[in-house]
Amino acid sequence: MTNRIVLHIDMNAFFASIEQATNPSLRRRPVIVCGNPETRTVVSAASYEAKPFGVKAGMSIGEARRLCPQAVFVIGNLAKYVDTSRRIFSILKTFSQKTEIFSIDEAFLEITDHCSSYAAAPRIGRAIKQAVLEKMGLTCSVGIGPNKLIAKLASDMQKPDGLVLIEPEKVAGVLENLPIGELCGIGRRMERHLHALGIYTCGELGRYPVAILRQKFGIMGELYHYMGLGRDDTPVSFSGDEEPVKSMGHCHTLARDTSDPEEVKRNILALSEQVAVRLRQDGYSGRTICLVLRYSDFFTFSRHFTVDYFIDSGYDIYQQALRILARVDWQGKAIRLIGISVSNLVRHSQQLYILDEFNRRQKVDRVMDKINQKYGEFKIMRAAIMRQDRKPVQPILARGLWAKTFTKNDNI
Amino acid sequence: MKIVCSQADLLKGVQSVQAIISSRASLPVLSNILLETQKDKLKLAATDLEVGIKTEIPTEILKEGSITIPAKILFDIVRELPNQDIQLEVTNEYKIILSCGKIIFKIMGLPKDEFPIIPDFKEDNAFTISAGLLKEMIQKTIFAISNDETRYILTGVLVQTSNGNMEMIATDGRRLSYINGGKLDKQGKNKLDVIVPSKALREASRLIGEKETGDKDLVKIELTENQIALKLDSTVLVSRLVEGKFPNYKQVIPKDHSTSVTLDTEKLLNAVKRVSLLSPEKAESVKLQFIKEKLIISSMAQGLGEAQEELEIDYKGANLETAYNPKYLMDVLKVIKAGQIEVELSNAMSPGVIKPKSGEEYLYVIMPMRL
């Protein structure tokens, strides 16, 4: 594929910017979006005023407060962000139908068909920035390149409110001394592996013998080789051929570390119910249940278990998660974070039950869904969840956090 | 203890009991087989605390006594020995000297004291049933149990007597298997109404298979408060019971239906097997469309493709469309020996019933998937 022109749009400090856009008193002040800061959650987003202090997403609130005591802590409102995100994507789609939603605040646009040359591309980039700013009051960084990999790299190079073009002939020069960790797709773990081979820059990665990379990392090795050369053939997959959802999950950092089995179970139940609500909302049910635990020393791992039927009930998910928990030797260790996810999903394929007790549970779920849809999340809930010392978990999308916890996936 | 027995007898005895031993035994002694002299026989026993099996083999007893020996080691050794007499002698330090011709093994054992007691079988109160029939009843129900430990009650098969007939019922909440084995040869004193763990039934089925029993061989079944015991020849299997109340399965079996159609068992099995090949992992659902003189079986796997097969059938009713988990269909079709089955249906949301056309009292209730 030659002469592609791909744009990457990255909303700047998305959650924090939305809060600033909707609340004038927050503008030009360091804003940190998080869960309820009275308890313990992590930073979901920090405004550009807070970033110079070193505040980063994923950081604990305590640490953020230490780094930037004057910051305003705002409890995140996921519904607001999702809604804003949806509106931004519909703006982007007016520029190109080939728009791939990459995450809540990132998108790729293929403009190959709309643009005659690289020289004309920045004009489209500027028009997009203008439209998003006018309609939503938000700034974004736009990267332009011959593929997704380079476009993403370009948008990262100027933040906030940037516009960077990397033309095909300049790719090699840009990559030559670029640390490999800057590339989207090379995580910290892979970075370590590559460092061990003496590969520190993308230039070195591209020149490294592909045979050895393949031998060490399998099919991914070849991919890394091409990444080092700045080549990426993955298409911008626009709506209509979106990849089917592979898993749904929630994780939650506890208000305080606990080794109390009852409290852990209550949290698992709350998370299970949340995941189940999402599954049912989108018509999914799944067969594989995954439990993620993070100890107070930040050691994080996950275990999963597959049953031979599809479930979408919170109680069923909870029961399977408990089964997994029973096989984990965590006694005496303090747990900091718990995550539940369901994968191996199918859509609209719902098994009916012959036994009344099973059907009753299904009916209760549906009725609870209806009530919560009408009056708001967790207006009706299991009494067991209510006994917690906190309000039911407000889901905050800490981007990437979920994916990271899934790197060590052992079956039990 | 000092005994002499034939290699063939000892191997058979060890084989009968050792399968029950769990590789994750919670106590060292549970990895062992108990050997104990009893009159002119050698008793062998093994248990995982849930199920216990004991059997006897003919032996020449030179000195009475008992010992427990690591099951795997004993089995591996005996299997590799020539078919000659084996002498087993236990020293004071629980060391076993096993000799066969010029071959000598010395193995460390454990004393009998720590080995759990497997209760004796009391013949007086026993039911009897033909071994072949029991095996068939197990085969036709056990696949429908739930392997979900969180639905503990459903992890076993309900075994009960009603009007002198023995019935077995298994369900996982999505399908149900019911078989009536007919009149028991000998009625016991107590009425049978228990949930037997699947492991015990699997072992019973294996023992019957190993013995190559004919139809005439009988299995005796005895019930105590919280245990069930089965006896076949000189082998006794004792299992704890699943405690709790089995769901009211009678309520679940549909009383009537709007459509009934006869299908060829094997043709249907093969068609479902083929059509579900696309997503064996996910096994979403297969759709069954009954239209005039035709059954169309189809499946669609998201992002993969679709499959369809058409069967000619004798059907004149209204068009009817249902969908099932293909595994649930195949499970039952595999165990039905009759060439033809009767399928009874009402509508897409209500349970279907599958019965063999053979006169046996076996039925399978299967719940559809929402289309």
Q: Is the pLDDT of residue B25 over 80?
A: no
Question: Could you tell me if A160 and A11 lie in one domain?
Answer: yes
Tell me the residue length of chain A: 412
Nearest chain B Cα distance for residue A149, angstroms: 25
Decide which of A144, A166, A188 is a domain's last residue.
A166
Active-site pick, A106, A110, A263, A273: A106
Q: Are residues B135 and B227 in the same domain?
A: yes
How far apart CA A306 and CA A342 sit, in angstroms, is 10
* Nearest alpha-carbon partner for B241 in B250, B251, B229: B229
Considering the domain architecture, whether residues B242 and B132 belong to the same structural domain is answered as yes
- Gap from B314 CA to chain A (nearest CA, Å): 28
A240 inside 8 A of chain B by CB = no
Q: What is the ipTM of this complex?
A: 0.78
Q: What is the CATH number of the domain that holds A63?
A: 3.30.70.270
pLDDT at A390: 45
Q: CATH number of the domain that A214 lies in?
A: 1.10.150.20
- Mean of pLDDT values over B32-40: 93
Same domain, A52 and A123: yes
Confidence of residue B213 (pLDDT cuts 50, 70, 90): low
Asked, for residue A404, whether it belongs to a domain, the answer is no
Of the candidates A402, A407, A377, which has an alpha carbon nearest to the alpha carbon of residue A392? Answer: A377
Residue A242 in any domain: the answer is no
Asked, for residue A198, whether it belongs to a domain, the answer is yes
Q: Could you tell me if residue B289 is inside a domain?
A: yes
Closest CA to B305 of B334, B275, B348: B275
Q: Would B333 be classed as within a structural domain?
A: yes
Return the number of CB contacts < 8 Å for A and B. Answer: 63
**Higher pLDDT pick, B116 / B190:** B116
* CA–CA gap between residue A348 and residue B371 (Å, rounded): 8
d(CA A140, CA A105): 9
Q: Across all residues in chain A, what is the average pLDDT? A: 80
Is B38 found in the same domain as B77? yes
Q: Which helix (H) or strand (E) holds B262?
A: strand B259-264
Q: How high is the pLDDT of residue A393?
A: 46
- Give me the pLDDT at residue A224, please: 85
Least confident range from A176-185, B30-39, B125-134: namely A176-185
Residues B298-345 pLDDT 10s: 988 766 788 999 999 999 888 999 999 899 999 999 999 999 999 999
Q: Is the pLDDT of residue B115 over 80?
A: yes
Measured in angstroms, the CA of B174 and the nearest CA of chain A are apart by: 5
> Looking at the complex, does the CB of residue A215 fall below 8 Å from at least one CB of chain B?
no
Tell me the per-residue pLDDT of A82-97, one tens digit each, with 9 for 90 and over.
Answer: 878 888 888 888 888 7
Are both A147 and A194 inside the same structural domain?
A: no
Task: Provide, as residue numbers in chain B, all residues whose Cβ is less than 8 Å from the Cβ of A352.
Answer: 174, 349, 367-370
pLDDT of res. A103: 81
Residue A401 lies in a domain: no
What is the largest distance, in Å, between two alpha-carbon atoms of chain B? Answer: 80
- Per the CB < 8 A criterion, the answer to whether B287 and A331 are in contact is no
Instruction: Compare all CA atoms of chain A with the CA of B253 and give the residue at the minimum distance.
Output: A354
Q: CB under 8 Å to A146, separation ≥6 — which residues?
A: A3, A4, A5, A6, A166, A167, A168, A171, A230
Which pLDDT tens digit goes with each residue over B228-287?
999 998 899 999 999 999 999 998 899 988 889 999 999 999 999 999 888 656 657 899
Q: Which residue has the higher pLDDT, B216 or A191?
A: A191
Average pLDDT, integer, range A167-187 = 83
- Full domain range(s) for residue A343: 247-385
The answer to whether position B371 is within a domain reads no
Domain limits for position B289:
253-366
One domain, residues A63 and A137: yes
Among the three residues B249, B265, B290, which one is the final residue of a domain in this structure?
Answer: B249
Taking only residues 339 to 368 of chain A, the set having a beta carbon closer than 8 angstroms to any beta carbon of chain B reads 344, 346-358
How confident is the model over A228-268, as pLDDT tens digits? 888 888 877 765 444 557 788 888 888 888 888 888 998 99
Q: Do B30 and B142 share a domain, yes or no?
A: no
Q: Which residue of B has its CA nearest to A345?
A: B282
Which of A166, A190, A215 terminates a domain? The answer is A166
Q: What is the CATH number of the domain that holds B284?
A: 3.10.150.10
CB contact under 8 A, B367 and A346: no
Tell whether A221 and A268 lie within a shared domain: no
**Whether B367 and A351 lie within 8 Å, measured CB to CB:** yes
Among residues B335, B339, B367, B337, the alpha carbon closest in space to that of B353 is found at B367
Q: Is A406 contained in some domain? A: no
Count up the domains in chain A and report the number.
3
What mean pLDDT do residues A339-362 have?
81
Q: Does one domain contain both B210 and B268?
A: no
Q: Tally Cβ neighbours within 10 Å of residue A343.
A: 18
- A255 plus A133 within the same structural domain: no
Sheet holding A43-46, edge to edge: A43-46, A31-34, A72-75
Answer whether residue A394 is part of any domain.
no
B316 domain-assigned? yes
Q: Write out chain A residues lying below 8 Å of B247, CB-based.
A: 355-357
Between B299 and A350, name the one with better pLDDT.
B299
Helix (H) or strand (E) holding B310: strand B305-312
Same domain, B54 and B109: yes
Each residue's pLDDT tens digit, B44-53: 999 998 899 9
Tell me, what CATH number does A330's domain have?
A: 3.30.1490.100
Band of residue A394 on the pLDDT scale cut at 50, 70, 90: very low
* Total domains present in chain B: 3
Domain annotation covers residue A407: no
Instruction: State the helix-helix crossing angle for A121-136 and A78-93, rounded to 10 degrees.
Output: 140
Q: Which pLDDT value is given to residue A404?
A: 33
Say if residue B348 is in the same domain as residue B313. Answer: yes
| A76 assigned to some structural domain | yes
What residues form DSSP beta bridges with A247?
Answer: A343
Q: Quote the pLDDT of residue B36.
A: 95
User: Average pLDDT of chain B?
Assistant: 90
Question: Token pair of B216, please?
Answer: 């005439």
Asked if B252 lies within 8 A of A308 by C-beta distance, the reply is no
Poorest-pLDDT segment among A187-201, A381-395, B69-83: A381-395
C-alpha span between B127 and B121 (Å, rounded): 12
